């Protein structure tokens, strides 16, 4: 989440446990791991083509990039250059696919000289890196810890390629400015390798560097992590999930809870990065499942176990946006209608502060909308944790309307025959394999505000004896006759049903209607929850009130007016 706490344990180079020691270790492995592992092999001390259209010597000292100072640096570390070698260095330009003949014999005296040469190349780059961060347009304070070692390693490798410019910083730098550790981790792990386009060597490097930078604050465990930090981690995962899963499938190992799960790339570069043969010889790089486990465990404990819900979450854990997250290329809206989609297992999905669409997919999911008017797409035996104005979609149709009690006080039957039973909490049966549990609604009184568009009424109202009925400030349940009725709800959250006949129903106080049929329009659920007005059969006139009323005409040519 934040970058206020840094990783202070330097575990790469036991002989030099500092950020500089870590930096050198990272660069030695990344730039010339064979030399690092075999320092006495003179062939590894020669000029070589680095595979990226350039020439290097030692630990990635780029002779083309450092052309202006190469002769001075090479002389300073103990090489006596021949006139032919000096001429060849001065003539360097453009790109290369092989080593020029005049430089083929240029060899460093030993591995220590290669380290000296690396330090000479590093010094001005570290100065430039610190100048970049301290520029008023960037203004990022980074202390001398592991995080700095990783970022300087990336700066040495690519500078503006990964960091952008002061005027146009990269997504990673913007995340640093925002103190969003999880987004920085994502950009290092996936974004900086161009989805693998820069080759497997960079993929391996970024797997390791991302986890050495750290997805979490130092010392974080599933019990010590804050709920906010856990959500920030999984919010970043949710934003980039499709790209992350594809990346892991191509280069690492997809998690068991993803679809497809447990798919390993032809070469698992996470294992390569941790290995000794062609990696860093440290168990630092984690699979995605290992990386997210702390955050997942914390939120499952908070949102599932602590609520007394007995359900195994073996699918996704997704988190919506509380505010719009803006990058130069894309805005991730807090009104999330695209990313909060589960897979075929039991998912936990939490909406953000906006109007989200939560779709658990197959499996028995737990869906928590949070603030806003959320839409729940249900399938399987899903649990909804929310209150107030929300929408439920099942098989593409809206689940809403009137449920009439059977006299028990705990069972209500909808007009479509579906049954809502309260046994703390309420459960609505949708089909043989599908149901909804309303975790927050433990009794019929919890639906007094018509949560989820469900309107509960007690059974067998006495038949109306008059065509004019007027409610009061309470929550009235008024039903018309077979003739043309006038029903006025007045205050409260009322259920008004005209039955047959050409009825006029007012959600609130009776008003004088303007002439003509084009007055207003209907906006159900636009404000606080109001009344449910159902005209029934006949040509009815339905008039909404000051609150957000549901106006349903049923059969006939109806006129619906919103106040």
SS (H, E, C) 156-177: HHHCHHHHECCCCECHHHHHHH
Out of 429, 457, 485, pick the residue that ends a domain: 457
Instruction: Give the pLDDT confidence score for residue 528 in this predicted structure.
Output: 38
533 and 508 together in one domain: yes
Residue 235 banded pLDDT, cuts 50, 70, 90: very high
Question: In DSSP terms, which residues pair with 401 in a beta bridge?
Answer: 454
Q: Where is pLDDT greater, at 277 or 262?
A: 277
373-394 in b/e form (b: 16+ CB < 10 A) is bbbbbbbbbbbbbbbbbbbbeb
CA angle 441/446/452 to nearest 5° reads: 70
One domain, residues 422 and 478: no
In this structure, the dihedral spanned by the alpha carbons of residues 239, 244, 246 and 247, taken in order and rounded to 10 degrees, is: 150
Residue 530 lies in a domain: yes
One domain for residues 389 and 482:
no
Residue after which a domain boundary falls, among 407, 425, 457: 457
Same domain, 345 and 400: yes
Note whether 436 and 491 are same-domain residues.
no
Residue 79, domain member (yes or no): no
Quote the pLDDT of residue 2. 46
Q: Are residues 477 and 450 both part of a single domain?
A: no
Residue 289 pLDDT > 90, yes or no? yes
Bridge partners of 377?
Answer: 359, 393
The beta-carbon contacts of 4-11 under 8 Å, at least 24 apart in sequence, are 4/179, 4/217, 5/217, 5/218, 6/143, 6/145, 6/146, 6/147, 6/218, 7/145, 7/146, 7/147, 7/212, 7/213, 7/214, 7/218, 8/145, 8/146, 8/218, 9/146, 9/218, 10/146, 11/282
- Taking the C-alpha atoms of residue 304 and residue 385, their distance in angstroms, rounded to an integer, is 10
Do 438 and 474 lie in one domain? The reply is no
- Residue 391 belongs to a domain: yes
- Contact (CB, 8 A) for 153 and 26: yes
Q: Do the Cβ atoms of 122 and 154 come closer than 8 Å?
A: no
Identify the top-confidence range among 127-131, 417-421, 525-529.
127-131
Does residue 359 sit within a domain? yes
Number of domains in the chain: 2
Percent of the chain with pLDDT over 90: 60
Given a contact cutoff of 8 angstroms between Cβ atoms, the answer to whether 444 and 409 are in contact is yes
Asked whether 370 and 389 are in contact (CB, 8 A), the reply is no
Residues 362 and 450 in one domain: yes
**Angle, helices 111-134/19-37, rounded to nearest 10 degrees:** 140
Q: If you write DSSP's letter for every residue of 503-518 in order, what string do you get?
A: -EEESSS--PPPSSS-
Nearest Cα to Cα of residue 70 among 94, 92, 51: 92
Q: What is the mean pLDDT of residues 296-325?
A: 92
Residue 84 counted as domain residue: no
The span from the CA of 425 to the CA of 444, in Å, is 10
On whether both 557 and 467 belong to a single domain, the answer is yes
Residue-wise pLDDT tens digits, 361-414: 999 999 999 888 899 999 999 999 998 888 999 999 888 888 889 888 899 998
Q: How far apart are CA 357 and CA 42, in angstroms?
A: 62
Residue 260 lies in a domain: no
Q: Whole-angstrom Cα distance, residue 359 to residue 394? A: 10
Tokens 């404990």 appear where? 301
Task: Look at residue 284 and tell me if it is in a domain.
Answer: no
Distance CA 143, CA 329 (A): 30
Return d(Cα 231, Cα 228) in angstroms, integer.
Answer: 5
Instruction: Report yes or no on 377 lying in a domain.
Output: yes
Q: What are the structure tokens assigned to 29, written together?
A: 């492995």
Least trusted range by pLDDT, from 101-110, 275-284, 512-521: 512-521
| DSSP type of residue 304 | T
Residue numbers of the domain that contains 403: 314-324+333-457
> Is the model's pLDDT at 82 over the cut of 70?
yes
Name the pTM for this structure. 0.84
CA distances from 206 to 16, 234, 372 (A): 23, 20, 38
Q: What is the mean pLDDT of residues 500-527?
A: 53
What is the distance between the alpha carbons of residues 273 and 460, in angstroms, rounded to a whole number? Answer: 71
Kindly indicate the confidence band of residue 129, based on its pLDDT and cuts at 50, 70 and 90.
very high
Q: Which of 442, 457, 472 is the last residue of a domain?
A: 457
More confident residue, 296 or 404: 296
Do both 320 and 452 map to the same domain? yes
Report cis status (omega within 30 of 0) of the bond before 148.
Answer: no
Q: Are 450 and 472 found together in one domain?
A: no
- 437 and 468 together in one domain: no
pLDDT-based confidence at residue 525 (cuts at 50, 70, 90): very low
Task: Please provide residue 251's backbone torsions phi and psi, each rounded to the nearest 5 degrees.
Answer: -125, -15
- Residue 87: pLDDT band with limits 50, 70, 90: very high
């Amino acid at each position: 989440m934040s970058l206020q706490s840094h990783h202070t344990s330097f575990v790469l180079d036991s002989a030099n446990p500092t950020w500089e020691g870590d930096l050198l270790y990272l660069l030695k492995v990344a730039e010339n791991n064979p030399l690092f592992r075999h320092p006495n092999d003179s062939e590894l001390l020669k000029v070589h083509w680095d595979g990226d259209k350039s020439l290097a010597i030692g630990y990635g000292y780029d002779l083309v990039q450092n052309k202006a100072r190469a002769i001075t640096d090479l002389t300073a570390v103990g090489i006596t250059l021949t006139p032919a070698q000096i001429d060849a260095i001065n003539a360097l330009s453009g790109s290369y696919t092989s080593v020029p003949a005049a430089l083929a014999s240029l060899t460093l005296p030993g591995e220590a000289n290669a380290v000296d040469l690396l330090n000479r190349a590093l010094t001005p780059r570290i100065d430039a890196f610190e100048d970049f961060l301290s520029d008023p347009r960037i203004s990022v304070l980074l202390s001398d810890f592991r995080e700095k070692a990783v970022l300087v390693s990336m700066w040495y490798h690519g500078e503006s390629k990964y960091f952008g410019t002061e005027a146009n910083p990269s997504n990673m730098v913007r995340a640093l400015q925002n103190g969003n550790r999880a987004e920085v981790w994502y950009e290092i792990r996936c974004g900086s390798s161009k989805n693998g386009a820069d080759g497997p060597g960079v993929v391996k490097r970024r797997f390791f560097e991302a986890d050495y930078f750290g997805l979490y604050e130092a010392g974080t465990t599933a019990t010590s992590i804050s709920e906010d930090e856990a959500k920030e981690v999984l919010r970043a995962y949710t934003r980039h999930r499709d790209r992350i899963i594809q990346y892991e499938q191509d280069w690492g190992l997809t998690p068991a809870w993803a679809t497809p799960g447990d798919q390993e790339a032809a070469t698992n570069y996470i294992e390569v990065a941790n290995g000794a043969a062609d990696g860093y010889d440290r168990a630092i790089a984690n699979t995605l499942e290992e990386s997210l486990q702390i955050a997942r465990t914390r939120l499952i404990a908070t949102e599932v176990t602590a609520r007394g819900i007995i359900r195994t979450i073996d699918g996704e854990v997704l988190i919506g946006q509380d505010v719009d997250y803006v990058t130069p290329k894309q805005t991730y809206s807090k009104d999330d209608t695209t990313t909060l989609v589960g897979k075929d297992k039991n998912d936990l999905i939490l909406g953000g502060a906006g109007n989200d669409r939560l779709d658990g997919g197959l499996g028995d999911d737990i869906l928590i909308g949070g603030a806003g008017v959320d839409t729940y797409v249900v399938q399987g035996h899903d649990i909804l944790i929310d209150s107030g104005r929300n929408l439920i979609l099942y098989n593409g149709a809206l689940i809403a309307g009137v449920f009439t009690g059977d006299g028990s006080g705990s069972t209500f039957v909808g007009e479509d025959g579906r049954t809502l039973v309260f046994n703390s909490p309420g459960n609505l049966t949708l089909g043989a394999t599908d149901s909804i549990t309303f975790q927050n609604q433990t009794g019929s009184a919890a639906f007094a505000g018509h949560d989820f568009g469900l309107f509960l009424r007690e059974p067998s109202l006495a038949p109306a004896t008059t065509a004019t009925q007027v409610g009061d400030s309470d929550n009235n349940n008024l039903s018309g006759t077979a003739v043309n009725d006038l029903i006025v709800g007045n205050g409260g959250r009322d259920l008004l049903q005209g039955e047959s006949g050409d009825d006029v129903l007012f959600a609130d106080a009776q008003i004088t209607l303007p002439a003509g049929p084009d007055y207003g329009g209907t906006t159900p659920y636009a404000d606080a929850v109001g009344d449910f007005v159902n005209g029934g059969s006949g040509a009815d006139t339905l008039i909404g009130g000051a609150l957000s009323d549901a106006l349903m005409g049923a059969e006939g040519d109806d006129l619906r007016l919103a106040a």
